[in-house]
Structures are given as C-alpha cells and as structure tokens.
Amino acid sequence: MRTLLRWTPLLLLAACAGSASMPVAPVRFALPDSTFALDGATGAPLGTPELLRRVAAADLVLLGEVHDNAVDHALRGALISAFADRHPAVVFEQLARSDGPIPAPAAGESLESWLDAHGFDRRGWKWPLHQPVVEAAVAHARSLWGSGLSRESLRSVVREGEAAAPDTLRRLMELAPLDSTARAVIDRELVEGHCGQLPATSIPGMRAAQEVRDASMARALIQAGAGGPAWLLAGNGHLRRDVAVPRLLRAAAPGSRVLVVGLLEREANGALPDAGERRMYDIVIVTPRAVRDDPCRGL
C-alpha cells in the first residue's frame, strides 16, 4: 500500500492570530503523492509552502471533506499535527453542539466511548474513517467543539422552517438571509444529492435544516476562535463561500481572516473539478476518487 504522507520539513514565516507578523515553529507536512493544491480563484497550482503560509495567516480555517474518502481524513489529521504548536481550536461537524468546549477524553477512556458520549454516530460516519483527524485534534487542539444538532431539533426545523431554530442560530441567520439565487443553489444541490427523488414539498424544510446546520457550525467556530485560531472540519457543501458557513462568517465575524479549503475528488473520468466548483473555495486540494457503490442505485 502506498504511504499516504511523506514528510518534508518546511520553515514558514506567517502572521499569528494577532496583528504582528512573527516566525512560527518549523512545519513538517507534505501532501500525499496522489493529491495537489490549486488556488480556488485562478486554478493555478499552489505549492505546499504557500498552502501552509495561507493556513498560518488565517484566524478561521475551514477544512472540507468527502465523508467517505480516507485520504481526506489522513490529510487533515496531518495538517492539524503540522500546526500543533499553534494549538488551533477544532470544531467538528460530527460532534454534538454544546455551549462550550467538549472535555478531552479522560485518562483510560477509549476514543470510541468518548465519541459515543459526544454524539458521534460511528456507524453513520463509518468509523474508523475519521480516526486520523480525530486523534490529531484530541492530541493537539487548544479546545474541542461540536456543532451537530439533534435529530429532534432538525425535524422541527424541517416541519416548521427557520422559526423553529434555536434562538441563537436564528439570530445569526437573520444577519445574512438567503436571497433567491442562494435558495435556488441549495435547492438544486438538495435535489441532486437525493438522486432527483426529493419531493418538491420537502425542499423548503430541507433547505431550512441545511441553513440551521451551517449557522450552528459558524457560531461554534466564532466561539472557538475567541482565544486564537480555530478550524472547522465539515463536509465540502457546508464550506461553500456563496451559500454556506463563510457567508454567515462574513456577516457575524467581519474582521476575521477566513480561509476556506475544499477537498475535492477527481471526476469519475479522472477530470479535475471544474472552475465553477473550484471557485466555491479559496484553496482546492484535489484527491483521488474513493471507491464506492452508486448511492442512487436501487433508490
């Protein structure tokens, strides 16, 4: 089996969380052989030193994933470990939302027990796919946060719309309401994500649930970033600059330096992500396509 990560020492000079620019510790990191980085806006190749410089200069880093792609989780775990000296706070899409940081695993507590206690659905997320990034966060993060909403909360939103969202999240959404173009984008993604089988009557409620989940991630990231750099680990769809978490951050945390990194797979025919998809992110890391069954087969 090919080794996913081949380490290379790289010395970075980057801005800290404050306003002054000062050196940070040497960063040891390399992208897997099968991956490479592109500038989201231009599509130009991005060297590893520049990738790391941009990460180091950001207050809030949003790291995407394709949930069942093992390369993504190994890569993000390595990136967290590379910035261990900065101790970023880490927010997980998969952990349950709380009003404060989640205690790290206690002495003698298994990682699986800790995940179960904090709402990580190991079966649904196909554990141990996420193990490399979870272990890195537990080892190096300044604090650990969850942003996941309960099924009961989401059911209420699906039935009743945004008015059923928790007050703190509803107020955040009101800062950056979706316009008709953004709603159309989300609706199209929802229909495609459900293999074209989503009834039209279900779309408004599903859209509201998506928006509430984005708001929960944005709020947790802002809270986690109060004491230094903070990173969000979530699916690529939640990181879209046009309709998702970054939109809310622009309204609620306008002074923060935000970096959005999408981890996008090659197309089934080997082609790179197209320009329209690439521009949803500041940086795109292109990865091999995971082997998976057709999710629409038999639906």
Confidence bin at 297 (pLDDT 50/70/90)? confident
Q: How many CA atoms lie within 13 A of 59 on its CB side?
A: 20
Distance CA 17, CA 225 (A): 10
Q: What is the pLDDT of residues 147-206, one digit of tens each?
A: 999 999 999 999 999 999 999 999 999 999 999 999 999 999 999 989 999 999 999 999
Report the predicted TM-score, pTM, of the whole model to 2 decimal places.
0.89
Per-residue confidence (pLDDT) for residue 294, from 0 to 100? 83
Q: At what angle do helices 203-224 and 167-175 cross, to 10 degrees?
A: 90
Q: Is the distance from CB of 74 to CB of 5 less than 8 angstroms?
A: yes
pLDDT average, residue stretch 290-294: 89
Answer for the pair 101, 143: CB distance below 8 angstroms, yes or no: yes
Neighbours of 195 (CB within 10 A): 12
Predicted confidence (pLDDT) at residue 18 exceeds the cutoff of 90: no
Distance CA 40, CA 261 (A): 9
